[in-house]
Structure 1
Amino acid sequence: MKKHNILRYLWLAIGPMAILSSCTKFDESYYENPNRPNKASGTQLIANSQMYLSSVSSSAYGVHYPQYLSLTTYTDNTRFISTNLNFSTWYIGPLMNLEAVLNSEKELNANDGPVVNQIAVAKILKAFFLWHVTDRWGDVPMTEALKGMELAAPKYDKQEDIYTALFKLLDEANSSIVLSGKIKNDIVYNGDMGKWKKLGNSMHMLMALRLSKVSPDKGKAEFVKAMNAGILTSNSDNLSYPHLAESAHENFWYNSFTVQKRNWYALSEVLVNHMLPYNDPRLAVYGDKNSAGGYAGLEFGKLVPNPDVDIPKVSLFGSAIRKQDSPVHLITYAQLLFAQAEAAKLGWIGGGDSQAKTFYEEAIKQSFSQWTGENTSAAAYLSNTDIAYDANNAIEQIATQRWIHLFPYGYEGWAEWRRTGFPNLTLAADINGGNIPRREGYPTQEASNNKTNYEAAVKSFPYGGTDGLNARVWWDKP
C-alpha cells in the first residue's frame, strides 16, 4: 500500500489506540471483530509515532531560535517571552508508542514484516525523538521514563549518558536489520529497510558531530563508525515527512497561512541578507516576492507598525513550501555532505581541505537539487568569492551554508548554530537581554510534580545557570 493511502486509514485505525490496551481476566477474543481490532499492532504504533515527525520541524517556536523567520504580528515568540516549554507531548505520544513496541517483541505480528525490523525501526525512531528532546532541554528523563504511574517522578539522565545510550540503540538497529523484509504501515519509507538502515546510521553520524567541542575523540570514533556503516546516498533517501492534500494531514504552514489567513511569518532580514547578494536560487523557494517584486527580510523581533502597509513590503514564508501537501525535510543528503565536509576539515576523516572542498561543493549542489529541482546554477553560486571554499574560513562557510540549507527546520538549525557559533547572529538588547537562547526551560509543572529530580537536574547544569533559556546543554561547551 502506498504511504499516502496508509496515512488516510491510520487516522481512524489507531487514533484512539496510542498504547497497547491491557487485558482483562476473561477471554474477549470471541467478541473481537478482526476488521476492527481493539488494540494497535506494532507497525500501527510505529506509524502513529511517525505522525509526530512533522511537528519536530513545523513549530511556532523552533523557527525563531536560529532566526529563520520573523513575526509580522504577535511577536512574543521572536522576543522569547516563553522561557519554559513542555516536553510531555513527546513522552506520552511517540515515545510511549515506541516503548510499547519494544516491550512487546514476543507479541508482534510477523505478518506485518519481520519482527526484528519492527524492533529496529522502533529503536531508530526512539533515538530520533529522544535526540530531539535532549537537544532542546539538556538532561531529561530516559531510563526511568515511560513507566506510567509505576514511576511518576522519573530522574533526569545526564545528556552525555543519553547520547551514549542512543549511539548503542542505533548500533543495535543497524546490526539487526534484515534488508529483504519490508514492514507494513510505514508512512516514511514504505517499508524499505535499506533506507531505514541508512537513516539510523546517518542520525548516528550527525549526533556524533554534536560532540566536536565537548568530546572530540569520542565524536570522531562514532562519526567514522556510522559513516562506514552506510548513510544516505541521495536525496531520495531523505527523511521527509509526507503531508496530504486533505485537512487531517495537511502541512502546518498551509493551515496557518491559507486556512487561518495568518500572514504572520516573514523571512528574517539576516536570512535574506545571506542569500540575496549571491543570487541564491533557494530564496525564491524559501520566500515570496514582496509588493515591489523583490525580496526583503523583516528585522528579527520587530513589530511592523502598520500591518496593512508594512507586511506587503517584506517576503512572507514561501508559498512553494507551504502547500497543503508540502513535505517536511528532517534529515537530508546535503546535510550529511556538510557534516562530512566539516569532519574532513577537523581531521576526523581523511583528505584534508581537498576532501572538505569536494564535500562542501557537493552539499551545495544537492541542497539546490532538493529545494529547486536543479543544480546547474550551483557553479555560478560557488564562483562568488564569499561562497567559494576558503581553507582559512572553512568551518564558518560550512556552518553558514548548512544553516541556509536546514531552513525551516529550526531546531536543527539552532542546534548547529549553538555548536559552531556560525553564522553570526545577534539580538537587540531588549530581547532576552541580547542573548540568543541556548536551551529551553523545563516544563513549569516539573518544579512541583517532580521537585527532587527537577532541582537535581538544574543544580547539575554542566556550565551553571538557572532553568530557562540561557543555560547550556552538555555539548554546547563555551
Structure 2
Amino acid sequence: MKKYNQFTLFIVAITFLLSACENVDFGDTNIDPNNPSLAVTAPLLTNSIREMSAYISQTTPNLYVQYLSNGQYDEESRYETLNWDTDGYYGILLDLKTIIDLNTNPETSTSTQIYGSNANQIAAATILRVWFLHGMTDRWGYLPYREALDADNNIYPKYDSQEAIYNGLFDELDKALETIDSGAGPKGDILFDGNMSRWKTFANTIKLVMALRLSKANPTIGKEKFNEAVSGAISSNSQNIYYTYLTEDNNDNPWQDRFESRKDYLVSDVFVKALIGSGTNVAPEDPRLPKMADLAETSSTYVGAPYGVSNSNTNNYSFITKDIIKKGDAPLMIYTYSEVLFARAEAAALGWTSENASTLYNEAIMASMKQWGVNTADATTYITANPYSNVSDIAYEKWVSLYMQGYNSWAEWRRFKASDTEDRIGLIAPANLLSNATGIPQRHAYSSTAQFLNEANYNTAISEQGEDDLDTILWLFK
C-alpha cells in the first residue's frame, strides 16, 4: 500500500509539472539572437547609406561630362554600356520601406523605438528613399514607383512617368519634413550621426535641386517648390553634405581602390583646357585646377588626356588630385553650398526670386574656391576677371564646381542643354561611339531583362517615353 501511494504521488507530481510548463516564461532562452524575428532598423539604415557611395563615386557620368578621359581602355568614354540594372536600387528601397513599415505598424513600432524615435526613423528613411529615386528617374525616366516593392500582391508593377515620380517625391519630402520630431535621431546613421537638423537640411536641398530640374519641364511647380525649400537648404560650406570614408579597406574611398590596381582615369583635355583659360599650363587662369588635378609626371605641366580615345602613356597626362585618389578617407561630395548658390543665382535670373543673380554667382564661385582650398586673393582675381552676364555663365561655373560629382553634373548638363545655355561648357561627343549612341547619352537604357520580366508595362513605358536607348531625351530635359 505504501508503494502504491508513493507511485501515485509521483504520477501526480509529474502531471503537475508538465501542466505547469504550459505557463512558464523561459524569457529569451528559445530566441536565437543571430536570427531575429523582426528586422533591426539600425543596420538597415547603415547599409542603405553605405550604398550612396557606389552612386556618388561612379566613373561613367564623370566621363559623360568630360571631367575625365580613359587611359588605355577607352570604351567607357565611347558609351559602351547601354543597359543598366535597377535591381540593386530596388533592394535598397526595400530596406528603407522595411524601416518605414516597422516604425509605422503599431504591433512593431514599440520594439523599434530603441533605434530612435519612430517619427525620425520614418523621416530619415523617407528622405534617403527620395534621394535614391530622384537619381534613378533622372537616369532612366519612367520607372516602377507607386506599385513597386509589393511583390506579394503585384509582381508586374506599372512604370510611372517621370512627372508623376517627381510629384510623388515632392509629397514624400514634405511629409518627411513634417514628420521629424524632437525625439532621438535614428541609430545606424553614418551620414549625420542622428542629427535631425542635418536631415532637414538634406531634405530641403534635395527639394531645391529637384525644383530647379523642373526649370524647363514645369517652371510653375519648379518655382513653387524652390521657394518652399530655399531657406532650409545648405547655407554655408560647413553644411556641405558628403559621404565620409575610412582608411580601412572595407569602407575607403573607391577612387583610391581603383588606382591601387590600374592608372586608368585621367583628367580630360576638355576640362584642363577650360580651366587653363587665358593662363598657362603651369599657371592656369582658374586657381582650382591645381587643387583638382596634379601635374603630368613627364612634363611637370597640366596636360589633359584626349577625350574618347585610348591614352596608353598615362604619365604624359594629369591625374585626379592625389588628395582624392591617394587618400582612403577623402570624402566625396553629395551636395555643396556652391551648388545651392548657383541654383539661387539661376532662380533669380529666371525671375523665381527677387535675389540678385550676379551677386549670388560671385558668392557661388567663391564658395567653390573655398571648398577646394583656394586662397581669397586668387579667388577674387578670378571672379573679377569672369563677371556674370547670363545663365550660360552660371552653367559653365556650375559645371566646374561639380567636378567629380558625376551624376549630379550630368543631370545639370542635360538641363542646361535643354534651355540652350550649355554653350560655354562646350562638350562634344567622340567620333566613334558604341551602343548605337549618336551623341552624349541622354539617359540609361533599362536592364536587358526588363522587357521580358514585365513585358506589358515595359512596352507601355517605351511607347510613352521613347526608345529604350541612350539617345531618348527625358521629360525633364526636352
TM-score range, shorter chain: 0.7 to 0.9
Partner amino acid for 2:95?
N
CA distance in 2, matches of 1:156, 1:288: 45
TM-score by length of 1: 0.86
187 and 273 in structure 1: CA distance in 2 versus 1, 3 angstrom threshold: same
1:252 match: 254
2:290 match: 284
Shift of 1:282: 2.2
Task: Identify the match of residue 235 of structure 1 among 234, 237, 240.
Answer: 237
Is the 2:59–2:406 contact (alpha carbons within 8 Å) kept by the matching residues of 1? no
Match status 1:413 vs 2:409: yes
> Which of 1 and 2 has greater Rg?
2
1:96 match: 94
1:164 match: 167
CA distance in 2, matches of 1:38, 1:248: 28
Shift of 1:153: 2.3
What pairs up with 1:265-276 in 2 under 5 angstroms? 265-276=265-276
CA distance in 1, matches of 2:334, 2:193: 17
Instruction: Give the secondary-structure state (helix, strand or coil) at the position aligned to 2:477.
Output: coil
1:18 match: none
Q: Which moved more, 1:443-452 or 1:30-39?
A: 30-39
CA distance in 2, matches of 1:141, 1:397: 37
Percent identity over the alignment is: 35
Instruction: Give the secondary-structure state (helix, strand or coil) at the position aligned to 2:476.
Output: coil
Is the 2:116–2:183 contact (alpha carbons within 8 Å) kept by the matching residues of 1? no
Q: Which moved more, 1:29-38 or 1:315-324?
A: 29-38
Is the 1:43–1:118 contact (alpha carbons within 8 Å) kept by the matching residues of 2? no
Is the 1:366–1:375 contact (alpha carbons within 8 Å) kept by the matching residues of 2? no
1:446 match: 450
Q: State the number of aligned residues.
A: 432
CA distance in 2, matches of 1:111, 1:57: 31
1:360 match: 361
What pairs up with 1:336-351 in 2 under 5 angstroms? 336-351=340-355
Is the 1:210–1:219 contact (alpha carbons within 8 Å) kept by the matching residues of 2? yes
CA distance in 2, matches of 1:112, 1:369: 37
CA distance in 1, matches of 2:448, 2:117: 42
Shift of 1:246: 0.6
428 and 62 in structure 1: CA distance in 2 versus 1, 3 angstrom threshold: closer
1:55 match: 54
Shift of 1:326: 1.0
1:303 match: 310
Shift of 1:180: 5.8
Question: Which stretches in structure 1 are left out of the alignment for 5+ residues?
Answer: 1-26
CA distance in 2, matches of 1:224, 1:217: 11
Partner amino acid for 1:458?
I
Shift of 1:403: 0.9
2:473 match: 472
1:334 match: 338
Q: Which moved more, 1:124-133 or 1:142-151?
A: 142-151
Partner amino acid for 2:306?
E
CA distance in 2, matches of 1:399, 1:359: 13
CA distance in 2, matches of 1:336, 1:182: 25
Provide Cα deviations, 1:80-127, integer angstroms capped at 9, x if missing partner: 1111111111111x2111011111223242222221111111110000
CA distance in 2, matches of 1:67, 1:257: 19
427 and 178 in structure 1: CA distance in 2 versus 1, 3 angstrom threshold: same
Match status 1:192 vs 2:188: no
1:14 match: none
Is the 1:285–1:321 contact (alpha carbons within 8 Å) kept by the matching residues of 2? no
Match status 1:395 vs 2:397: no
Instruction: Give the secondary-structure state (helix, strand or coil) at the position aligned to 2:352.
Output: coil
CA distance in 1, matches of 2:430, 2:35: 56
2:65 match: 66
285 and 149 in structure 1: CA distance in 2 versus 1, 3 angstrom threshold: farther
Partner amino acid for 1:380?
T
Instruction: Give the secondary-structure state (helix, strand or coil) at the position aligned to 2:475.
Output: coil
2:178 match: 175
CA distance in 1, matches of 2:76, 2:116: 43
Is the 1:211–1:475 contact (alpha carbons within 8 Å) kept by the matching residues of 2? yes
Shift of 1:376: 4.1
- Give the RMSD, CA atoms, in angstroms: 1.9
Partner amino acid for 1:264?
D
Partner amino acid for 1:157?
D
Shift of 1:374: 4.5
CA distance in 1, matches of 2:285, 2:211: 33
CA distance in 2, matches of 1:50, 1:112: 16
Is the 1:426–1:436 contact (alpha carbons within 8 Å) kept by the matching residues of 2? yes
Shift of 1:340: 0.3
CA distance in 1, matches of 2:39, 2:290: 43
Match status 1:317 vs 2:320: yes
74 and 42 in structure 1: CA distance in 2 versus 1, 3 angstrom threshold: same
Is the 1:441–1:467 contact (alpha carbons within 8 Å) kept by the matching residues of 2? yes
Instruction: Give the secondary-structure state (helix, strand or coil) at the position aligned to 2:309.
Output: coil
Q: Which moved more, 1:109-118 or 1:178-187?
A: 178-187
TM-score by length of 2: 0.86
CA distance in 1, matches of 2:475, 2:406: 20
29 and 159 in structure 1: CA distance in 2 versus 1, 3 angstrom threshold: farther
275 and 373 in structure 1: CA distance in 2 versus 1, 3 angstrom threshold: closer
Is the 2:415–2:476 contact (alpha carbons within 8 Å) kept by the matching residues of 1? yes
Provide Cα deviations, 1:437-461, integer angstroms capped at 9, x if missing partner: 1000011100111111111111101
